[in-house]
Structure 1
Amino acid sequence: MSNFDKEALFMILQALYEGHYEKAAHKFEQESGIYFNMNYFENELRNGHWEEVENYLLGFTELTSNRYSVKLFFEIRKQSLLRQQHPPQQEKNLMSNPFPFSLVPQQQDNLMSNSVGLRPVPAGSAYRNIQNNDGVASFGKYQNSENAWLKLAKEADEVTTIRINEIKEQGQCRCLRLPDKLKCNKISRLMYANSGRSILALASNAMHVLWKWDKTEESASVLPEIWEPKSGKLMVNDIEDVTNGEADPCFSMSNNEVYLISTSGGKISVFSMATFERLCTFKPPPAGCTCLIFYPEDNNILVIGAADSNILIYDIHEDVVCLKGHMKKITGLAYSKELKVLVSLDAEAQICVWKWETWVKQNTAALQIPAGSNSTSAIRVQYQNDQIHFLVVHQIHLAIYETTNLKRVKQWVVPRFSAHITDATLSSESEMIFASFLDATILVFVVGNLQPVCRIQPSAYLHALSRVYPTAVDAHPTKNQFALGLSDGGVCVIEPLNSVKNWFACETIDSC
């Protein structure tokens, strides 16, 4: 870049600041790499805007450019995790020392310390003073921030394994295999009741199994019992006309835990959770039911996703409403109480947002699947506690989206040649994501940056030389605990040890 071009860029930056377009100025700094604004960087750190900090930094250096970059990004993510776990103490630490400046290369210490109190845009000569012999900004190689994030997604797994917490032995976490005297086949669906006192599983043979804990003892150290009514009835779905391999088993429990609606490819059944009585059945959509949910605000309303891409709204007080807008079978449904919208996901990774009551399609978008991967592998969609952002689970990636504009906020991509995701779910506080894989590995992610912080190996919860893998996963509604439905029909409950309480162990920066 010629000196004339550099001066021109600084004039543009100066004009943005003089016009009070500070947001645009910082974006220009980031994308051009022309000037690193230390005052802005420090303020974002103090305010705990970790994603903005990473985005800005990526405009000047790649995550793996050198050991200093690795340490910088590690420290940012460590502070982010600590702040989520210990907000008051971390707030105090940040205000007293927003960042360990000793991590920055010695040749830049003078630049960083002197930047405090400087005018926002220095003279062009100041820029030349921080260049290396090749005429490139010495803070690192700059590039478009979007491209940087794509590169980051590819490299993140390699880098984060430096600090990921490995659980390889059964003594490193609490693991409890629930009694399975009914000898079920593969677990197709799994869920905790809203109270957290019971777990319900739907097996591939159309049979439901319910485990209950006494009172509030729902932990991985207390064995629950298989619960059955005194009548001895079992909840079994109708599969009379179902051909093997055609069914998409699914179920949903009402918020008050009174009713269960379920199907294994045949008729849709409504059961009483107290007596296991089948209260009624009704025909599924002609193409078959693929997913269903109760409307959270009224148990008389049911939303059904069909294999022919339609969405049906059943209301006992009104006629059935049919929503058309997808091209492939529906694989996920989620409702936002905050926004009063329904989000739907189909097998070809298309997302639609529907306004409740009017049923107008507000927005639609296709998942941004990495090139060369199979898009017809979308699994589920689930809202975070804020009811604004939602998780999309796909066989080769996880993503967080914002509802109103369907903007992808974060993404994690399965590394090449690694096992695919079988299921994933948000934790009770929407701070963690528990994801299961075909190789029986479990990864625990932090929602804040969508990076794995813990890897649970199969040896920690399965017998040696087992070919079993998780087929379904659900999180306890209030505790740091999750349950796995397995390919052999078993169910495991897993939680961290009492002495640890968390799924990640914060290492010192020297471990990088």
Structure 2
Amino acid sequence: MSLSKDLVLLMLQFCAEENFKRTAHMLEQESGYFFDLEHFEELILHGNWDEAEDYLSSFTLLEDNKYSTKIYFEIRKQKFLEALDKHESAAALDILVKDLKVFEQSNKELYKEMTLLLTMPNFRHIRRLLYSHSGNGVVALAEDGTHLLWKWEKNDDNINGEASTKSTPALYQPKRGLLMINDTPPRNSSLDDQVPSTLTLSKNDAYVISSSGAVISLYDAISFKELRSVMRPPPAATCIVFYPPDNNVIAIGRHDASILIFNIRTDELISKLKGHSKRVTGLAFSTTLNVLVSCAVDTEIIVWDSRTWEKKKSTVLQISGGLLGSAELSETSIELDKDHNHFLAVHQTQLAIYETLTLRRVKQWTIANFCARISHATYSCDSEMVYAAMRDGIILVLDASDLSPRYEIDPSAYLPSRLRPCYVVGVVDPVVIAAHPKKKNQFALGLSNGEVVVVEPLFPTQVKLASSL
């Protein structure tokens, strides 16, 4: 046996010297004497799952020991997740039934979670989207709790290094290879369809605070290191904003309808605000008016004194009778204009502008004449326009002075050509929209397939599209 083994190893050495890779790997598998770890690693890194499993099976079988079982499971799990990522549901189901069923007894919870993933085609879609305050980056939070950060570098085509459709940004990755990934609730949680993800940036772009239905995490935006995690639910955080005068202080809207004013550095609870009766979905601070504006899923809006934390005024969005049934299920959001004297309220059935201190509604636009509802909307950076992403893919541009629609941008104008067939069959649509902090004619769209596009409308006829991020 020793002589045979030595002979095989000599033959393998010869194959390596002559670059007969395929012959060498066949001999390795047939003899079982030598496992080429580099070859196996290459198969894994390139996603050649079937080849990797075939090579592995020549040396160890799934049931041989717990280590073999674990590596077979990891290969098949990655194969399953890749099929999901490609929206190949039939292939994913086949893998789940034929390849992963064998692991159900030893890992029932994980198998159940993967089964639930199969019924969630939007587990990668973008839930929250923000520009950096400097305007040179876009940060997104996906359904699965993963953060994505794109940055534009200075070059000949982009002298200022700001977000631009003239140059393609790089997906930022720290040198240590860390990822910002939030904890998420169990897939069978009753909160899955109710608790939205939340994301906010400090005013110096140095810190990210976010939550995806579980703990609140504080990250370093440069290293991606998780610095702190606080407040494990229930109740879950539903929206978070920084208190502008102090980066250590945040306001946290919660699923139980309360609002916490919290110092994340010292773990000090400064105040707990009670006034809403349903989960809080939006928060906005005005330092010039010394108020905090909040809104809830039942469309109630409250103004709080940001010095005493006392409730000052409240109102509710007026939903027309024919659309009233949808109010309870719709996330309401708010955004202050550049002067803080007014704010934009966004509901799936309408857009409205209110005076911040009096809560007097001064303008309103409803979807009465449109088939589609509103996914998300935002002011342009100068507060002169409102960009609204509709659920049918249309981007509506409204004049903020009277909320009258001025332009419609068709999905064919902003989607890359490779995604247009996906839109036609309803696979891709805009979920969230963010406006550039300095360029009034630029906004970014987070899509349901997990991608982001940056758009620069050249009114009234043209749209410039950046490469999808």
TM-score by length of 2: 0.66
Following the alignment from structure 2 to structure 1, what is the Cα–Cα distance between the partners of residues 134 and 425?
33
Residue 445, structure 1, aligned to residue 398, structure 2: yes
Q: Indicate the residue corresponding to 1:420 in structure 2.
A: 373
Q: How do 1:29-428 and structure 2 match up within 5 A? A: 185-215=124-154, 216-217=160-161, 218-239=163-184, 241=186, 243=189, 244-315=192-263, 316=265, 318-373=268-323, 374-376=326-328, 377-416=330-369, 418-428=371-381
Contact 2:185 2:213 in 1 (8 A): no
Following the alignment from structure 1 to structure 2, what is the Cα–Cα distance between the partners of residues 309 and 499?
43
For 1:281, what is the secondary structure of its paired residue? strand
Q: Provide Cα deviations, 1:26-72, integer angstroms capped at 9, x if missing partner.
A: xxxxxxxxxxxxxxxxxxxxxxxxxxxxxxxxxxxxxxxxxxxxxxx
Residue 490, structure 1, aligned to residue 451, structure 2: yes
Contact 1:309 1:327 in 2 (8 A): yes
Contact 1:397 1:411 in 2 (8 A): yes
Among residues 455, 460, 465, which one is paired with 2:408 in the alignment?
455
Deviation at 1:239, TM superposition (A): 1.9
Q: Provide Cα deviations, 1:246-280, integer angstroms capped at 9, x if missing partner.
A: 54211111000111011111111100001000001
Following the alignment from structure 1 to structure 2, what is the Cα–Cα distance between the partners of residues 284 and 473?
28
Tell me: higher relative CO, structure 1 or 2? Use CA pairs within 8 A at least 6 residues apart.
1
Following the alignment from structure 1 to structure 2, what is the Cα–Cα distance between the partners of residues 202 and 264?
9
Contact 2:214 2:233 in 1 (8 A): no
Deviation at 1:375, TM superposition (A): 2.2
User: Are residues 494 and 417 of structure 1, via their aligned partners in 2, closer, same or farther at CA, if it must alter by over 3 Å?
Assistant: closer
Contact 2:300 2:315 in 1 (8 A): yes
For 1:372, what is the secondary structure of its paired residue? helix
**Count of residue pairs brought into register by the alignment:** 322
Following the alignment from structure 1 to structure 2, what is the Cα–Cα distance between the partners of residues 410 and 305?
26
Among residues 435, 442, 465, which one is paired with 1:475 in the alignment?
435
For 2:269, what is the secondary structure of its paired residue? coil
Following the alignment from structure 1 to structure 2, what is the Cα–Cα distance between the partners of residues 443 and 368?
21
Which residue identity is paired with 2:375? T
Contact 1:379 1:423 in 2 (8 A): no
Identity %: 43
For 1:375, what is the secondary structure of its paired residue? helix
Contact 2:384 2:399 in 1 (8 A): yes
TM-score by length of 1: 0.60
Q: Which runs of 5+ in 1 are unaligned?
A: 1-181, 504-512
Which residue identity is paired with 1:279? L
User: Are residues 427 and 303 of structure 1, via their aligned partners in 2, closer, same or farther at CA, if it must alter by over 3 Å?
Assistant: same
Q: Which runs of 5+ in 2 are unaligned?
A: 1-84, 87-122, 155-159, 465-469
For 2:124, what is the secondary structure of its paired residue? coil
Following the alignment from structure 2 to structure 1, what is the Cα–Cα distance between the partners of residues 295 and 125?
24
Following the alignment from structure 1 to structure 2, what is the Cα–Cα distance between the partners of residues 248 and 240?
12
Deviation at 1:366, TM superposition (A): 1.1
Which residue identity is paired with 1:478? K
Deviation at 1:440, TM superposition (A): 0.5
For 1:483, what is the secondary structure of its paired residue? strand
For 2:386, what is the secondary structure of its paired residue? strand
Contact 1:241 1:266 in 2 (8 A): no
User: Are residues 481 and 262 of structure 1, via their aligned partners in 2, closer, same or farther at CA, if it must alter by over 3 Å?
Assistant: same
- Higher alpha-carbon deviation: 409-418 or 466-475: 409-418
Following the alignment from structure 1 to structure 2, what is the Cα–Cα distance between the partners of residues 240 and 343?
28
For 2:332, what is the secondary structure of its paired residue? strand
User: Are residues 185 and 477 of structure 1, via their aligned partners in 2, closer, same or farther at CA, if it must alter by over 3 Å?
Assistant: same
Following the alignment from structure 1 to structure 2, what is the Cα–Cα distance between the partners of residues 285 and 408?
35
For 1:477, what is the secondary structure of its paired residue? coil
Which residue identity is paired with 2:164? S
Contact 1:285 1:306 in 2 (8 A): no
